[in-house]
Copies of this chain bind each other. A is one copy, B any other.
Amino acid sequence: MQTSLKKRLEIIIEMPAVPRLEAVLEKAGVKGWTVLPAKSGRGANGSWSREGQITSAGRMVMVLVIIDPAVLDTVLERVYALLERQIGIVMVSDVQVVRADRF
Contacts and interface: CB of A to CB of B under 8 A. Distances in A.
A36 B8 contact: no
Nearest to A34: B41
Contact of A31 (B38, B43, B76): B43
Interface size class of A (residues with CB under 8 A): 35 or more
B94 A93 contact: yes
Nearest to A76: B1
A37 interface: yes
A37 B35 contact: no
B1 A80 contact: yes
A39 B36 contact: yes
Which 5 residue pairs are nearest across A and B when measured between Cβ atoms? A32-B43, A34-B41, A92-B96, A35-B39, A91-B95
